[in-house]
């Protein structure tokens, strides 16, 4: 009988050790999501690099159109990955190495043109010391969609190869840092999830991290819609729209918002929605409000027949953009005030 009691005690102890608190579950589901996002980005940049090298060698295997289409795929994947506003992406200004925006003075064109005059800069070592406006997605977009001289065996083609190789290198680093293993970020995140400072009963470190990341991403969405509108202008500034050269502004926003919603839900895993629903009716009501707001914004984006860069210059479409700006502000308030209040998470003023 004592042996049976001993076995039962051991079973209960092991079961208790395997039970994760909600913050640990959030850490695990977030890790899985980030691994997929950065893995996809790195893989697509590898494809882009191969196509760029092929095109620049005058190979018939790749055309400029192929490069433009692959750039669009990568841009959407970057938008999706940029919802992760914590961890390795915050080290060494990594996000700026992928994208320089907003570009208020057309610095991308200026800095790329300057870099093209300095042949010594046309390698991976050199681009690491180059102005962020002359690298990343913006530089590649300029060369692919506006620059007139992107032909095989040209200095411009060589520079594009370096820009893509630089992004590929950085994406590999991000993907690697999010993989499981000793001294990798997932270990740091799960340790962070177990943090309970002395004197505090229910700290929610990962919830706080995710809520802040979503708030920051929605602030970017807000700016991407409001900056092209201008302030008090009858006509907006099309050149303030993100990706105006490739006319991808609206698709970028769709990708960003879809990824933000997925981060909230953690895909099929344990997400912030589950965390909130554990707080009863008020939590469930907030989850419904978040999902309704996402759906409303997504529907609003689908109503545009023209690129955002053109829409901000037409009266009727400007009204639609303003309506979307207000919808984004409402969603932002949920993550900036209502949700933190329910979860008793301090919010900086």
pLDDT digits (tens, 9 = 90+) for 153-209: 899 999 999 999 999 999 999 999 999 988 899 999 999 999 876 555 577 999 999
Residues 227, 166 within the same domain:
no
User: Is-contact 242 249, C-beta < 8 A?
Assistant: yes
Query: Does residue 10 lie within any of the structural domains?
Result: no
pLDDT for 43-81, tens place per residue?
A: 999 999 999 999 998 877 789 999 999 999 999 999 999
Instruction: Give the model's pLDDT for residue 124.
Output: 83
Instruction: Give the model's pLDDT for residue 128.
Output: 81
Residue 85 pLDDT more than 70?
yes
Residues 153, 205 within the same domain:
no
- Which range among 10-19, 103-112, 292-301 shows the weakest confidence by mean pLDDT? 10-19
The residue from 111, 145, 177 where one domain ends is 177
Only one residue has tokens 């692919």, namely 144
Residues 291, 227 within the same domain:
yes
Query: Does residue 12 lie within any of the structural domains?
Result: no
Residues 218, 159 within the same domain:
no
Domains: count for the chain:
2
Per the prediction, the chain carries an average pLDDT of: 90
Backbone angles phi, psi at 281, to 5 degrees: -60, -40
Is pLDDT larger for residue 149 or for residue 160?
Answer: 160
HSE of 105, CA atoms in CB hemisphere, 13 A: 4
SS3 readout for the chain: CHHHHHHHHHHHHHHHHHCCCHHHHHHHHHHHHHHHHHHHHHHHHHHHHHHHHHHHCCCCCCCHHHHHHHHHHHHHHHHHHCCCCCHHHHHHHHHHHHCCCCCCCCHHHHHHHHHHCCHHHCCHHHHCCCCHHHCHHHHHHHHHHCCCCCCCCCHHHHHHHHHHHHHHHHHHHHHHHCCCCCCCHHHHHHHHHCCCCCCCCCCCHHHHHHHHHHHHHHHHHHHHHHHHHCCCCCCCCHHHCCCCCCCCHHHHHHHHHHHHHHHHHCCCCCCHHHHHHCCHHHHHHHHHHHHHHHHHHHHHHHCCCCCHHHHCCCHHHHHHHHHHHHHHHHHHHHHHHHHHHHHCCCCCC
Structural domain containing residue 121: 23-177
| Geometric angle at alpha carbon 296, from 291 and 300, rounded to 5° | 150
Residues 171, 29 within the same domain:
yes
Query: Does residue 182 lie within any of the structural domains?
Result: no
Query: Does residue 7 lie within any of the structural domains?
Result: no
Instruction: Give the model's pLDDT for residue 44.
Output: 98
Q: How much of the chain, in percent, has pLDDT values that exceed 70?
A: 90
Q: What's the rounded mean pLDDT across residues 208-234? A: 91
Instruction: Give the model's pLDDT for residue 23.
Output: 95
Can you tell me the distance from the alpha carbon of 319 to that of 301, in angstroms, rounded to the nearest whole number? 13
Instruction: Give the model's pLDDT for residue 127.
Output: 86
Q: What's the rounded mean pLDDT across residues 284-302? A: 98
Residues 133, 48 within the same domain:
yes
Residue 235 pLDDT more than 80?
no
- CA distances (Å), origin 267, targets 2, 263, 295, 315, 339: 46, 7, 16, 38, 19
What b/e string do you get for 65-93 counting C-beta neighbours within 10 Å, with b at 16 or more? ebbeebbbebbbbbbbbbbbbbbbbeeee
- Which range among 120-134, 264-278, 301-315 shows the weakest confidence by mean pLDDT? 120-134
Query: Does residue 196 lie within any of the structural domains?
Result: no
Among 17, 19, 80, 131, which Cα is nearest to 261's?
Answer: 80
Residue 17 pLDDT more than 90?
no
Residues 31, 157 within the same domain:
yes
Q: State the sign of the Cα–Cα–Cα–Cα dihedral 123, 135, 70, 149.
A: negative
Highest-confidence range of 40-49, 235-244, 302-311, by mean pLDDT?
40-49
The residue from 119, 144, 177 where one domain ends is 177
Query: Does residue 3 lie within any of the structural domains?
Result: no
Under the banding of pLDDT at 50, 70 and 90, the label for residue 346 is: confident
Residues 165, 216 within the same domain:
no
Query: Does residue 16 lie within any of the structural domains?
Result: no
Model confidence, pTM: 0.91
Residues 155, 215 within the same domain:
no
Is pLDDT larger for residue 128 or for residue 294?
Answer: 294
Residues 156, 245 within the same domain:
no
Among 256, 243, 240, 215, which Cα is nearest to 338's?
Answer: 215
Q: What's the rounded mean pLDDT across residues 324-336? A: 97
Residue 4 pLDDT more than 50?
no
Residue 279 pLDDT more than 50?
yes
Instruction: Give the model's pLDDT for residue 149.
Output: 75
Query: Does residue 192 lie within any of the structural domains?
Result: no
Is pLDDT larger for residue 335 or for residue 116?
Answer: 335
Is pLDDT larger for residue 78 or for residue 148?
Answer: 78
The residue from 177, 211, 230 where one domain ends is 177
Residues 73, 209 within the same domain:
no
Domain with residue 83: its CATH number is: 1.20.1420.20
Residues 244, 320 within the same domain:
yes
């Amino acid at each position: 009988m004592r042996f049976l009691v001993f076995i039962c005690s051991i079973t209960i102890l092991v079961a208790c050790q395997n039970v994760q608190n909600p913050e640990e579950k959030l850490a695990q589901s977030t890790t899985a999501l980030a691994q997929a996002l950065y893995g996809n980005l790195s893989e697509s940049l590898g494809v882009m690099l191969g196509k760029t090298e092929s095109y620049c060698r005058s190979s018939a295997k790749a055309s400029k159109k192929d490069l433009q289409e692959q750039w669009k795929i990568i841009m959407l994947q970057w938008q999706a990955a940029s919802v992760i506003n914590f961890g390795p992406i915050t080290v060494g200004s990594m996000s700026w190495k992928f994208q320089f925006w907003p570009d208020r003075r057309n610095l991308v064109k200026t800095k790329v043109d300057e870099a093209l005059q300095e042949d010594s800069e046309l390698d991976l070592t050199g681009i690491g010391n180059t102005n962020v406006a002359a690298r990343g997605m913006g530089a590649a977009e300029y060369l692919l969609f506006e620059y007139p001289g992107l032909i095989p065996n040209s200095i411009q083609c060589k520079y594009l190869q370096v820009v893509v190789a630089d992004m590929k290198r950085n994406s590999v680093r991000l993907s690697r840092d999010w993989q499981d293993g000793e001294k990798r970020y997932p270990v740091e995140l799960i340790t962070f999830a177990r943090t309970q400072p002395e004197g505090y009963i229910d700290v929610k470190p990962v919830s706080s991290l995710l809520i802040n990341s979503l708030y920051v991403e929605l602030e970017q969405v807000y700016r991407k819609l409001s900056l092209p509108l201008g302030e008090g202008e009858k006509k907006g500034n099309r050149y303030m729209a993100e990706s105006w050269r490739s006319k991808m502004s609206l698709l970028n926003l769709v990708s960003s918002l879809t990824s933000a919603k997925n981060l909230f839900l953690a895909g099929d895993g344990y997400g912030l929605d589950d965390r909130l629903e554990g707080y009863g009716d008020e939590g469930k009501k907030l989850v419904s409000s978040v999902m309704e707001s996402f759906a409303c914004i997504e529907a609003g984006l689908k109503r545009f027949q023209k690129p955002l860069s053109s829409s901000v210059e037409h009266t009727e479409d400007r009204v639609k953009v303003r309506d979307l700006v207000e919808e984004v502000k409402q969603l932002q308030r949920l993550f900036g005030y209502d949700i933190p209040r329910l979860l008793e998470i301090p919010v900086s003023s």
